[in-house]
Amino acid sequence: MIQSGIPKNLLFLIANRYMPPVLKLLMEVHDETLQGFLLAGHATAITGLGVYDFMHNEFKLPCAAAGFEPVDILLAIRELLKQIKSNQYEIINCYTRVIQTEGNLIGQKCLNEVFDLKAGIWRGIDMIEDSAYILKDKYAFLDARKQLICKPDYPPQAHHPSCVCHRVMLGEVEPQDCKLFKKACTPSSPFGPCMVSPEGTCHVRYSYSEINIDFI
């Protein structure tokens, strides 16, 4: 869209993130409880599988790229369990109807031409190198942050002091371990990003909190 020309009064507020660096950070701080990863199918369809090679080369963890239907998730979990059982670690593509090994080469070319990867702040975690997409200098005239006077009245890392979203995202605690969960913090009154999006871990746990899940 940017490359094909857009109206002069259309600006972009870019908040896109690149996942591999944050997964690498997670690998570096994780303990033995992490045994494998489901890779999100929509992002992997663009990047391809190669950007996750460090997961098995460096960290010896099995990965499975999954789609979003229940059967896709089950298939990917089955692949992870097979690898864990046989003490193997590789990246399996369980979403072959969408993901090609090399990814979407046209999409990658567009991303590389329009965006640079820079250090970005992950709320509650830290600044992570090469994890945030920003528009290249030649497209700065389309960047809302540069063209408009944007002064948020809170610092970019601010979140409620009792919100443990960052620990939820790192897999250190469950949403229900947060003292705000289902009390002050609900989907209609979220305190942290994990409760905002329907895909957020706290939001999901809230929606299905009547279901008891026994983790083995």
Binding residues for ligand SF4 (CB under 6 A):
160, 163-165, 168, 175, 178, 180-181, 185, 190-192, 194-195, 202
- Smallest distance from the beta carbon of 26 to ligand SF4, in angstroms? 17
Cβ distance to ligand SF4 smaller for residue 133 or 181 = 181
99 and 93 in contact (C-beta within 8 Å)? yes
Of the two residues 123 and 136, which places its CB atom closer to ligand SF4 in the complex? Answer: 123
Which of 67, 192 has the CB closer to ligand SF4? Answer: 192
CA distance 67 to 51: 18
Closest separation in Å from C-beta 155 to ligand SF4: 17
- Of 191, 142, 151, residue with least CA distance to 168: 191
Considering only CA atoms, give the Rg of the chain: 19
CA pair distance 181, 193, nearest whole angstrom: 13
C-alpha span between 125 and 175 (Å, rounded): 16
Q: Which is nearer to ligand SF4, 55 or 163 (CB)?
A: 163
Distance of closest approach, residue 216 Cβ to ligand SF4, in angstroms: 24
Q: Rounded to the nearest 5°, which phi and psi values hold at 203?
A: -65, -45
